[in-house]
Every structure is written in C-alpha cells, then in structure tokens.
Structure 1
Amino acid sequence: MTTSTHLLRRSRFLPLFCTQLFNAFNDNLYKTAMVLFVVYTVYNDESAEGIFSGVASFLFILPFFLLSALAGQLADMRDKAKIIRTVKMCEIGLMIIGASGLYLAWKGIAVDTVAIPLMLLALLLTGVQSTFLGPIKYAILPQHLKKDEVLAGTGLVEAGTYIAILAGTILAGWIPVEWAAGGIILTSVLGYLTSRSIPDAPAQGKVEKLDRHIIRASINLIRNVMLDRQIFYAIIAISFFWTIGAVLFIQFPPLAKNTLMASKEVASLFLVIFSVGIAIGSVSINALLKGEVSARYSPISVVIMGAFVVAFYFVCRLWQSYEITEIMGVTEFLAWPLASLIMLTLIGIAIAGGMFVVPLYAFLTTRCAPDQAARTIAANNIVNSGSMVAGSLVAMALSAIGVPVVEQLLLSAGMCLVSAWLGHRLHQAELDEGQSPA
C-alpha cells in the first residue's frame, strides 16, 4: 500500500481532503461560469473581455493580500478544524449571493447594474473565504500526519485541488449558467457537512493576542518569516509561479475566443488540461523525490515550463494564419491540425508547474516551527497575492492599451526565468545548510 493510498483511508486526512475538494470545485465552478458567461454573452470586445477577466482575478486575489496575516494568526492560535467549519458555513451564504447574480444575468435582468456587481461581490467574498482556509490546508498536515507522510499529503491536497478545479471547470463550460447557480449552493452545503468530520487541531504553541491591524500585522509577519533564508527563497519562488498562473488564467478565455476563435467549451477545455497537468506534476514529483522534501528539481521544472509557454505562443501565432471567422465548438476545434500542439504545450506548462511548486509548499510547512506553520503559509499568501495582483494589473493595463492577448504570453515566459533563478538560490541555500544531499 502506497503512502498516498494509506492516507486516503484515514479519518485524520480524508475529511480535510474532501472538504478541500469541494472548496476548490465550488470556487472554480462559480468563477469559471461567471467569467465565461460574461466574456461570451455580455461583452463583444477583446479589450473589455480582458479587463473584466483581470478585474475578476484581482477581486479574488485582493483578500489574500489584505487578510492573510489575520488568517495566519487565527490558524496558529485557534483550533484549525473549528475555523474550517465556520468558514464553510459562511460559504453557503456567499454562494447564495453569487447564484443570485448568475440567475439575474441569465434572465437578462439589470445585468450591468445589479447582476455583475452581485457576481463580483460574491467572488470577492469567495476570496475572503479562501484566505482563511489557505493557511490551514497545508499547516494542519504536519499536525495530523507523520513526518514521512507530509510530502505525500501535500501532493494529494495539491493534486486533489486541481482535480476539483478540473471538475468545476468542465461543468462551468458545459452546463447552462442557471444550473451552475444551483450547483454552487448545493456544493457549499456538502463542503460544510464534510468539514464537520475533520479531527480537532488545537493551537500547538503559546496563544498570543491577535493583532487586528492588518497592515502592521502583515509587515511584521512577513519580516519575521523571511528571516529564514530558505523560507524567503521558497516564498518568493512560489509567488512568481502564481503570478505566472494568474496571468495565464486571465489570458485563457479572451485568447480562446479572439485568437483561436473557439467556444466557451474550448476555453473550459484549456483550463481542464491545465488542471490535469498540475495534478500529474504534483504526484510525479513525490515519486521522483521518494518522499524527501527538497527543491532540487524546481529550477529545471520551471525552465521547462517557460519553454512550453514560448512554444504555446508560437503555436497560437501559427493558428492566426488560418484566418478563421466563426467561433468553433470542441469537435471543430479538435479537427484542426494544430489543435493537438495547443493541448500538448498546455499540459507541458502545467506538469512542469506542478513539479516546481509542490515541493516548495511542503518545504514551507516542514522547515518552520510547528506552531508557526499557518503564519508561514499566511506570509506566503500575502507575498503571493501581492505578486498576483501586480501581475493582474499588468495584464489589465496591457489589454487596456491594446496589446494582443497572445503577445502577453511572452510576459509569462519571462517570469519563468526569474522563478528558475529563485529555485536555484533556494536549493543552494538548502545545500549550504545541509538539508539536502548533494
């Protein structure tokens, strides 16, 4: 029996795994259904579509930047399982708000004045929810798992997250928007029910007073966590990775519609392929490292990711030579000679990305003190989200000044080189401190 199979049979891991599955599924069912509906039904202009996609990503990311310090303090100083249950109960209410926006947009009632603002409000609140769950889903693992199970548990959580993203993305692209509205409410209820079985995870260190001043708390948290050189490089490397991911996810829907002339089902397919690849990479790196927590494969992984982004760019440029004039469905799209190359480059980007980032998350939770794990992840989330917000703003600005979405892919490729350098510095620090064999 493998470590992964063993963990999935244990009540100390399975309820958390299922709760995270439902959470990731619901977030992506809602976000993807909303963005695809607005891009393909409400707007008919590449610049406006790119800006809306950027605004949606910005609103989802913003709470991570503002509230992660408070979320990390709560997770380290309160029972993590209790926080999860509270947040999952709140999710039911925020999904009712989102479902109302989707329903009004489907009916064509006050789309610009009420429906879209409601949908964006729910997306912002979904970001708040994920901000408070984010530090816990990794920090709780060393508390419930043995040391040699943490990498496998992290890989399973990461792979499960992307399988759930896959499922939510598929449904969002294929089911009617009114069905999505009902689905997000149902899923939020299921997520709350599974969260009730997560074992208690009380605070492990001294319970300190919460600092509710979010700016001061964020600055102090980042300063304290970044004193460790290995954690510093891991956080910065992860941040650049998710900035690349944020830019790519902003680009996908308008790229599919305006460059590849593909339907929302094809746009959904792209996100699905990306999610499958991340899941494959997440599990593969655990097999390569044989349970060891190390960043030694991270630099080459992200270099390969950048190469696939460049390949994707050139395939998209070649695709434009077809001069297609009508939106194509999945069957029509797949019939074109370059379609297989489009999908191959996408899955290559994702597999390499998963192999890059998963060891870094495991690195964060095992390198820091157990009573600091959630705050370390929270500091990571603050820096990640700040970088992703910056990436979203750059992508929105490029769209606003008329830079074609396909040309923006080169921005993502360039950032991969920075991530590779950071991954190299992290592994060098790892070797210098004797944490990994040469």
Structure 2
Amino acid sequence: MQDSLHLLKTRRFLPLFTTQFLGAFNDNLFRTSMVLLVIYGIYRDAEQEAAFSAIAGGLFILPFFLLSALAGQLADAHDKARIIRLVKTAEILIMLFGAAGLYLHSIPLLLVALTAMGIHSTFFGPIKYAILPQHLEPGEVLGGTGLVEAGTYIAILGGTILGGLLVIERGDGTYHAELAAVAVIVVALVGRIAGGLVPAARPADEAEIPGYPKRGMDWHIVRASITLVSGTLHIPRLFLAILSISFFWAMGAVLAAQFPPLVKNVFGADQSVATLFLAVFSVGVAVGSVAINRLLAGQVAARFAPASALMMGAFVLILYLLSYNWATPQGELVGMRQFLSDARGWAVVLDLFGVAVAGGMFVVPLYAFLTTTVPKSETARTVAANNIVNSGAMVAATVLLAGLIFLGVSVAETLILVAVASVVAAWLGWKLHQACD
C-alpha cells in the first residue's frame, strides 16, 4: 500500500509542499486579520461591513477569471520552479502593502494587497498540481496530490486562527493589528526561502498535441480564457473531471457561506463554535485526502468518487435534520464548552467531520486525474482551465444561495441544495469512472 508520507522526506516534494502550505497559511492569516480589523476596528455599520465583504470577495476572485489562462500558458512554457520563485518574491512585496494597511488601518492599501494576493494565487494555482507529475513517479502523484490538499486545509485553519489571535482589542475599545502586519511579512519571507529550494521543472519537450490548445502566449485575456476552456472541455474525460471538481467547490462555497449564520442563528453559538466548525472541516478534508490514497493504493482512479459524493450528501442531509430540529436559540450565545455539553452538539461536529472526509476523498483523485491523464506539456493549462470553471461555479452557487435566502429560504434549508447537488456530483463521478475504463 502506497505510503505518501515518505514524500515529505524528499527534496522533490517537501519544498513545494512547504511553499504551498505557507502560501495558503499567509493568505488566510492576512484575510482574517483584515476582515476582523475592518469589521471590529474600522467600520461600525452593518451596511458598510456588508459592502466591504462583497467588494473584497469580488476583488479576490476576479483574477481567477481574468488571468488563469495566462497563468497556465506561462507555467507550461517556462520552468515552473522559476515562476514559483518570482511569485513568492512578489508575495513579499504584496505583504509589505498588506502590512502597511493593517498598521495604518488603510482600507485602500488592504484592498490593493487583497487583489494582488488574488493575482498571486491565480499564478501559483496551476503550478502546485501541474509540477507534481514532473517531480514524482506515476504511483506517487495521487499521494502527493492528497498531501498538498491536506496541507492546504491545515494551513487555512492555522492561518485563520492565528489571524484572529493577532488582531488585539485594547482597553480603550480600539483594535490593532501590528503583530499581524509583522507576521504576514515573516511568513512571506520564509515562503520565498522554501520556494527557492524547489527543483527545476522545465517545460516538456513535446510536439503539439492534437485536440489541445496550441502552446505559446496569447495575451488577449478573454480570447485566451475562452480558447483554453473550450480546448480542454471538448475532451470528454477532462470535461467530466472539471465539472465534478466544480460541483465540489460550488457545494463547498455554499457550506462555507452558511457556517457563520448556521452557528449563530440556528445553533445559537458564538465565534468559538464557528472556529471549531472550521477546524473540524479542515482536519476532515485532510484525513479524507490521505485516506483515499490508501484506498486506491496510489492508483489514480475515480471509482470511489460516486460513493464519496453520495456519502457527503448523506452527511449534509443529516446536518440539515439536526439543524431543522434544533430549538430556536434564546438569550446569549453559547460557547464551545456549553455547545459540546449537549450530545446533539457532538452529533453536529461528528457529522461535519464526515462531510469533510467524504469531500476530501471525492476531490483529491480528480485533481490527480487532471495532471496525469494529459501530456506533461499541458498540465498547467489544464489546471488553469479547471480554475476558471471552478471560479464560475463558486460564483454561481453563491448567487443562487443569495437568491434563495432573499426568497425566504432558511439557512438550514439551503443545506438541502448541497445534498441534492451531491447526487449530481456522484453521477458525474460515475460517468468519469465509466469514461476511464
């Protein structure tokens, strides 16, 4: 049985894993610090806070729509390790702006840094998966992908928690983020050191592949994006894989958006329980990411995708039933200890863990599939096309969720949407498995 943990001892994997981990960690450290500082320390108006959240979310995701095609072309045409170094150097400069924004309480500087981090993530995204087939053996790619995915979710958790801890309320009621400002620069510097250790990953010397977009740079971002997506999605197995991953991220976007209101307005719990939910979900995805490699013994296949999606949907349906039958909260919000003193609280936590494990088992083989079933010269652009479609699916899911809430659908009832979507994801996973046989 393939033991992927041995990869953490090798230079062909550990520097990349560390670089990706620190990038995700810093991204969430900065964003959490920024949101808490703005919501609690700068704005004191609900409408301003809502407007800021909407603008910030849009600015961060916009580069994925506009620049993913360019990112994929660059990664396939140049040494991926060199691009990593350039991207991580840029992160240091970005975080200097971000740190200044945190220190000075400057909304413009914070939004500039946030947008730049979206660009940073757009250009790093295709590389973190596309580089694996060049550095790992075929039987190691699934395990490496699982470790990258697991590490990403643990980094998200760690960065979010630290970001919350480093925004400090003073005795006079003001909030300060000087420590967070220092932390984001330090993490960026360490990430650049790790990025400098990633072995070279030069572009593959392969002829143009029939059916794939031609290599070379098209700087027209709209045309390049359309060409990239259409040139990838007309290949049935890639179309099914990307569509399956997109359904996963769409469901994840709905769940992530619902965690805070679900905790506060349904379970009547405070921020500590919301953090607990995030921790459980992050650890669960990490466990699922590693467990699927064990089940598949290192083989890249989609045979467990249908069962994983259905299992995820079943756990989400149970979460809905627990939420629906929860008594309407009265009085002050309860903390983590009081929430877990009720057996139903533990049922919610364990159920959420099940959702996350199933999600990790579903999506990790699909990412490995994207990077191992296409020529090595096409991997980054394939991942970039996937990122474009994923972003669109997440935005569509968020808009649909907002519309449902506007029409009076409750927070708990929106979970049914995720459960139904998991059936579609299972069907797509089954079709992908059939296409690969």
For the criterion TM > 0.5, the same-fold answer is yes
Q: 2:395 aligns with which of 365, 370, 389?
A: 389
How far off is 1:413 after superposition?
A: 2.0
- 2:321 corresponds in structure 1 to 314
SS at match of 2:413: helix
- 2:306 corresponds in structure 1 to 299
- Counterpart residue type for residue 12 of structure 1: R
- 1:372 corresponds in structure 2 to 378
CA contact (8 A) 1:169 1:272 kept: no
- Counterpart residue type for residue 408 of structure 1: T
Q: 2:349 aligns with which of 323, 338, 343?
A: 343
How far off is 1:2 after superposition?
A: 5.8
Report the more deviating stretch, 117-126 or 298-307: 117-126
Task: Call closer, same or farther: CA 1:2–1:292 in 2, change over 3 Å.
Answer: closer
Q: 1:162 aligns with which of 149, 153, 174?
A: 153
1:333 aligns with 2:339: yes
**Within 1, Cα distance between the matches of 2:402 and 2:97?**
26
Q: Deviations over 1:187-224 (max 9, x none)?
A: 11111111011111111136953101111111111122
**Residues 90-105 of structure 1 correspond to what in structure 2 (within 5 A)?**
90-105=90-105
**Residues 34-73 of structure 1 correspond to what in structure 2 (within 5 A)?**
34-36=34-36, 42=43, 55-73=55-73
**Within 1, Cα distance between the matches of 2:264 and 2:184?**
25
1:239 aligns with 2:239: no
CA contact (8 A) 1:51 1:400 kept: no
How far off is 1:315 after superposition?
A: 1.7
1:282 aligns with 2:289: yes
Task: Call closer, same or farther: CA 1:51–1:289 in 2, change over 3 Å.
Answer: farther
- Counterpart residue type for residue 434 of structure 2: Q
**Within 2, Cα distance between the matches of 1:247 and 1:88?**
30
SS at match of 1:338: helix
CA contact (8 A) 2:255 2:415 kept: yes
- Counterpart residue type for residue 396 of structure 2: A
SS at match of 1:324: coil
TM-score (norm 2): 0.89
| Structure 1 stretches of at least 4 aligned residues deviating more than 6 Å after TM superposition | 47-51
- 1:138 corresponds in structure 2 to 129
**Within 1, Cα distance between the matches of 2:181 and 2:154?**
21
Task: Call closer, same or farther: CA 1:227–1:323 in 2, change over 3 Å.
Answer: closer
CA contact (8 A) 2:37 2:167 kept: no
Task: Call closer, same or farther: CA 1:381–1:403 in 2, change over 3 Å.
Answer: same
Q: 1:218 aligns with which of 219, 225, 243?
A: 225
User: CA RMSD of the aligned region, Å?
Assistant: 2.4
CA contact (8 A) 1:88 1:191 kept: yes
Q: Deviations over 1:303-325 (max 9, x none)?
A: 11111112112222333x15232
- Counterpart residue type for residue 304 of structure 1: M
**Within 1, Cα distance between the matches of 2:386 and 2:270?**
36
Percent of counterpart pairs with the same letter? 54
- 2:19 corresponds in structure 1 to 19
**Within 1, Cα distance between the matches of 2:9 and 2:359?**
28
Task: Call closer, same or farther: CA 1:171–1:218 in 2, change over 3 Å.
Answer: same
Structure 1 gap ranges (5+): 106-113, 432-438
**Within 2, Cα distance between the matches of 1:101 and 1:403?**
38
1:352 aligns with 2:352: no
**Within 1, Cα distance between the matches of 2:55 and 2:350?**
29
1:77 aligns with 2:77: yes
Task: Call closer, same or farther: CA 1:119–1:259 in 2, change over 3 Å.
Answer: farther
Report the more deviating stretch, 341-350 or 367-376: 341-350
Task: Call closer, same or farther: CA 1:356–1:89 in 2, change over 3 Å.
Answer: same
- 1:171 corresponds in structure 2 to 162
- 1:109 corresponds in structure 2 to none
- 1:209 corresponds in structure 2 to 216
**Within 1, Cα distance between the matches of 2:322 and 2:53?**
23
CA contact (8 A) 1:265 1:329 kept: yes
TM-score (norm 1): 0.89
CA contact (8 A) 1:169 1:271 kept: no
1:193 aligns with 2:193: yes
How far off is 1:299 after superposition?
A: 0.9
Task: Call closer, same or farther: CA 1:355–1:152 in 2, change over 3 Å.
Answer: same
1:9 aligns with 2:9: yes
CA contact (8 A) 2:2 2:293 kept: no
Structure 2 gap ranges (5+): 169-176, 208-214
**Within 2, Cα distance between the matches of 1:35 and 1:93?**
20
Aligned length, in residue pairs? 420
**Within 2, Cα distance between the matches of 1:52 and 1:339?**
32
How far off is 1:162 after superposition?
A: 1.4
Q: Deviations over 1:250-289 (max 9, x none)?
A: 2222332333333323222211111100000000000000
**Within 1, Cα distance between the matches of 2:37 and 2:249?**
25
Q: Deviations over 1:236-263 (max 9, x none)?
A: 0001101111121122223323333333
**Within 1, Cα distance between the matches of 2:159 and 2:369?**
28
- Counterpart residue type for residue 393 of structure 2: S
**Within 2, Cα distance between the matches of 1:214 and 1:40?**
38
